Chain A
């Protein structure tokens, strides 16, 4: 039988070390909502989401109460809208009406984000994809809870550089249209390479076309738990360090597995996957950078950071895989700047640069995340940064992403405040040398040689 020591250990993780289930995300297929009549599409989408997700928030709250484990977010991911709206939307404004419908549905069922205002264009853009991408700035400026993502590359197809060029401009335009709120719109827009179909984490979640009608994906977290466990093995060798991370990841993931099974049973919706991620929040002690410091670095960004992050990421997966029946999504350590107090401190101390962050993204999920840059950064420079990140994903057969926030009217050294889980960030300097001629070439980068496995 369970003993007092074990009970206390679990409750200490929850109460003092910020152990939580970060998100229950309900994936809903909207493929059957396609229609040639726009108002019909909007009606069907609203009806389907509010019907299927009606009990999502209350069921989450019930599980929270009965097991004493906080479930921070309840969210929805949907089929990429560029597919659903293709037959009905003739202009970008048509797409914006769908964004507003999604926002309304999200508010009705009480979820804080709905992801999937997306297009998948790793090889080429259809007319519909193009219209949707062009509608993103207005969609994000006029809605509150809608999240957008665009997959512009993959290991199988290469990188769509036309889309990369366009998205540099779209990011800037989104920043401009939400400049009264410190360009917050860009926090809801992710550009991907190798985007997973079952990611439960925002802003990049969407319900891929390979998925079932309706599923539940769970994102677990717990950087604070890992850090506290590592405090007890200070000075020990790498074997001990890695074993400790693995065991802790196992325990954290088991809680996610339990919540997943319970939620699935109560809602009568199949369980999809658990995303084994260390997702930080701005709360003290809930930091991935804090783990890196505990491993032995003065600040995140110091020499050794990439190696420390690589081992952390790998051990989290090794521990987590056995704890869950299905693992998927992004699964890895997140290194967003604004959402992690330790990362913010590292930037302010001058220890962490954009280039070092780029190196770190080679060994963890997911990418350059929640990084504030000067508002006068050129669109081509943003595209160049995206292309670099997409190349890392394409060659290394992993997911990479870019969520940059060019803060209009602010520059290096200033602080931008997003509030809530999105946190705050010091604006980081960007390499000033031009990549315009490179970005302007147009076309696509061919698939890498190791994609030809047949």
Chain B
């Protein structure tokens, strides 16, 4: 199973997690892990998700999340986990 990493970074505000999670649920994307912190008012979240059951292709999900990010003033990035595994694990 190929996992995807979603990162959300930006100024903290009400409902960021709700917005992102709602979108993921609507598109049948399963959340496997969430970690989140706030550093100096900055919201910082990382999710590990499983997109295999989603009806939408990766590119479309990535684009739509990007748009949601713009609406609520945060930056949302969608990347295959391989890039992180490759860089940080031997």
Q: A interface vs B, CB < 8 Å?
A: 1-4, 6-11, 62, 65-69, 251, 254-255, 257-258, 262
Range for the number of chain B residues in contact with chain A: 20 to 34
A4-B35, A4-B44 given; A10·B77 CB < 8 A? no
In the assembled complex, the Cα of A255 lies from the Cα of B82 at a distance in Å of 9
Judging by beta carbons under 8 Å apart, are B83 and A255 in contact? yes
Whether B48 is near chain A, meaning CB under 8 Å from some CB there, is yes
Residues of A within 8 A of B80 (CB): 66-67
- Known A10-B87, A66-B62, A68-B78; further 9 A-B contacts with Cβ < 8 A: A2-B5, A2-B88, A3-B46, A7-B84, A8-B46, A65-B62, A68-B77, A68-B83, A258-B83
Q: Which of A68, A69, A257 neighbours the largest number of chain B CB atoms within 10 Å of its CB? A: A68
Closest approach, in angstroms, between the C-beta of A253 and any C-beta of chain B?
Answer: 9
Q: B interface vs A, CB < 8 Å?
A: 5, 7, 33, 35, 37, 44, 46, 48, 58-59, 62, 77-88
Q: Which of B46, B84, B85, B87 neighbours the largest number of chain A CB atoms within 10 Å of its CB? A: B87
Judging by beta carbons under 8 Å apart, are B62 and A2 in contact? no
- 14 pairs, A vs B, C-beta closer than 8 Å: A1-B48, A2-B48, A2-B84, A4-B46, A7-B5, A9-B88, A65-B58, A65-B62, A67-B80, A251-B88, A254-B86, A255-B86, A255-B87, A258-B86
Judging by beta carbons under 8 Å apart, are A10 and B83 in contact? yes
In the assembled complex, the Cα of A65 lies from the Cα of B66 at a distance in Å of 12
Judging by beta carbons under 8 Å apart, are A254 and B58 in contact? no
Q: Which of A4, A6, A7 neighbours the largest number of chain B CB atoms within 10 Å of its CB? A: A7
* A6 closest partner in B (C-beta): B88
Residues of B within 8 A of A2 (CB): 5, 48, 81, 84-85, 88
Judging by beta carbons under 8 Å apart, are A251 and B58 in contact? no
Residues of B within 8 A of A262 (CB): 82
Residues of A within 8 A of B83 (CB): 10, 67-69, 255, 258
A3-B35, A66-B80, A68-B79 given; A257·B5 CB < 8 A? no
Residues of B within 8 A of A3 (CB): 35, 46
Closest approach, in angstroms, between the C-beta of B87 and any C-beta of chain A?
Answer: 5
Closest approach, in angstroms, between the C-beta of A385 and any C-beta of chain B?
Answer: 41
Judging by beta carbons under 8 Å apart, are A1 and B79 in contact? no
